[in-house]
């Protein structure tokens, strides 16, 4: 995944549709949260086995919602001046330090 390319493409869509005025950090964080809630809804009321063996249509829907969450997070990082790759690598390194045995 080339984060810079994805961000450029997202910015092109944003700019073409004049959405920049709506892309404040607050709005992007809220939009990511809404998309995450839509992902959670797919799993609502499923038991553990059902959640691990989604039907093809459910699996496709889950992928779409995951994509939505990631794209909003890319836009949020862009607005905040954060490098998503660096943020994720730093968090992973911190998690490894804290939980690796």
Give the model confidence (pLDDT) of 76-100 as tens digits: 999 999 999 999 999 999 999 999 8
- Using a cut of 0.85, tell me whether the model's pTM lies above it: yes
Q: What pLDDT was estimated at residue 23?
A: 98
Residue 7: give the domain boundaries: 3-99
Summarised one tens digit per residue, pLDDT across range 39-90 is: 999 999 999 999 999 999 999 999 999 999 999 999 999 999 999 999 999 9
* Those residues with Cβ within 8 angstroms of residue 28's Cβ, 6 or more apart along the chain or in another chain: 72, 75, 76, 79
Q: Cβ distance 76 to 25 under 8 Å?
A: yes
Domain count for the chain: 1
The string of DSSP letters for the chain reads --HHHHHHHHHHHHHHTT-GGG--HHHHHHHHHHHHHHHHHHHTT--HHHHHS--HHHHHHHHHHHHHHHHHHHHHHHHHT--HHHHHHHHHHHHHHHH--
Q: What is the CATH number of the domain that holds 50?
A: 1.10.287.1080
């Amino acid at each position: 995944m080339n984060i810079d390319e994805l961000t450029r493409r997202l910015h092109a869509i944003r700019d073409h549709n004049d959405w920049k005025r709506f892309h404040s950090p607050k709005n992007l964080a809220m939009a990511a949260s809404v998309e995450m809630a839509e992902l959670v809804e797919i799993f609502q009321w499923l038991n553990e086995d059902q959640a691990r063996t989604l039907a093809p249509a459910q699996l496709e829907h889950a992928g779409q919602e995951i994509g939505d969450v990631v794209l909003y997070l890319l836009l949020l990082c862009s607005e905040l001046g954060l490098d998503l790759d660096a943020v994720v690598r730093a968090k992973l390194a911190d998690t490894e330090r804290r939980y690796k045995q």
